[in-house]
Amino acid sequence: MRCSGPACWLLLLVVGVCCVHRARPRNVLLILADDGGFESGAYNNSAITTPHLDALARRSLVFRNAFTSVSSCSPSRASLLTGLPQHQNGMYGLHQDVHHFNSFDRVQSLPLLLGRAGVLTGIIGKKHVGPETVYPFDFAYTEENGSVLQVGRNITRIKLLVRKFLQTRDNRPFFLYVAFHDPHRCGHSQPQYGAFCEKFGNGESGMGQIPDWTPQTYNPKDVQVPYFVPDTPAARADLAAQYTTISRMDQGIGLVLQELRGAGVLNDTLVIFTSDNGIPFPSGRTNLYWPGTAEPMLVSSPEHPKRWGQISRPPSWIGSLSPTPAMPSLAQRLSSSLGGPSSRRWRRSLFGPRFLAARATMRSPCPTPCAPCTTRTSTLCTTSTSRCPFPLTRTSTSRQPSRTS
């Protein structure tokens, strides 16, 4: 079987990290936020308390221009786990069996390839991709065999499942995928817990209690309203609720890392944190504007402390993680299996193919992300390119993109 494209690079990353020193297995922990954005101290939001993400960022290479190919849950997750955009992996919409929204049966996913390579694979939290034959995990606690609230938001339950996974491992290297359900909205499905399930497990009457969670509430007056969100009382109230669930996820990340530390494997584990799509606000999730496709990404390698705290500014795709510098010999041995044309000429652009034949193109001529903007339009930041490096163009049926203002 030939392996081509970004999926092979992701496989090389994991196998290379795991196998540099056979006596000490190298592992990978992938942490995913659900509709997470840049609301953390690591990305200069001082209104929210995220000590564990901030600490992870200090031990990480911080990506400023990471993107997903599509701003929707299942297609983005499928791209992350296959290294293929949705039109190649088959996950065109939200995973469900009624209309067969699954990846193509022939797709070779990361857990499938890693399992064949002798790596122990595990998933805890929200999976939302299929079929099972394409995305098999040796250890799985997801919405498919339990409550997504329990495996995705109950950080005590998540902590105990991580501990169980680590206790059942043998001498094999592992790939553990912890997919939080926070900070996804839940007002449409469990309105009793609040707009973002910020009340779930907070100890109030009827809400249950998550033992390891110390709930943090935020004053809507103090939140940082993103430039693409209307500054209204309703938006501020939603952001305050979102902050509470982000803080819960942050505490959960701290618990997960503590379990790895207690098991003595944290210093042998590559830790990656990112999100599936933008936040669920206007111009965010499900939109191909910058707020919908730009993602936070932290990559912490214990073998490269010189990169800790540094910033990576070139555009990056979350489905195409590159091999680490520790694996040149492994990459050379497998180079005959890596087919496809060079992507060098596309490195300064990111394309977001989308259902209904729409496409967005983002170019990054400047080194920093589009952050606080002094001028607003209905959806886009319009500051000068020296401060806002993402002039956005989009096409629908025409091949010639037209610049929006």
Q: Which residues are catalytic?
A: 73
Amino acid (1-letter code) at residue 207: M
**C-alpha–C-alpha distance, residues 137 and 43, integer Å:** 32
Contact residues for 335 (Cβ-Cβ < 8 A; gap 6+): none
Angle between helices 233-262 and 51-58 (to 10 degrees): 60
**C-alpha–C-alpha distance, residues 65 and 354, integer Å:** 20
**C-alpha–C-alpha distance, residues 391 and 396, integer Å:** 17
- Respond yes or no on whether the N-terminal peptide bond of residue 131 is cis (omega within 30° of 0): yes
Contact residues for 356 (Cβ-Cβ < 8 A; gap 6+): none
**C-alpha–C-alpha distance, residues 37 and 282, integer Å:** 13
Pairing status of strand 358-363 against strand 349-354: antiparallel
Which of 7-16 are b and which e, b meaning 16 or more Cβ less than 10 Å from the residue's Cβ? bbbbbbbbbb
Q: Which of 153, 100, 86 is nearest to 358 (CA)?
A: 86
Q: Which of 200, 183, 198 is nearest to 149 (CA)?
A: 200
Q: How many helices (H) and strands (E) does the chain have?
A: 10, 15
**C-alpha–C-alpha distance, residues 363 and 343, integer Å:** 15
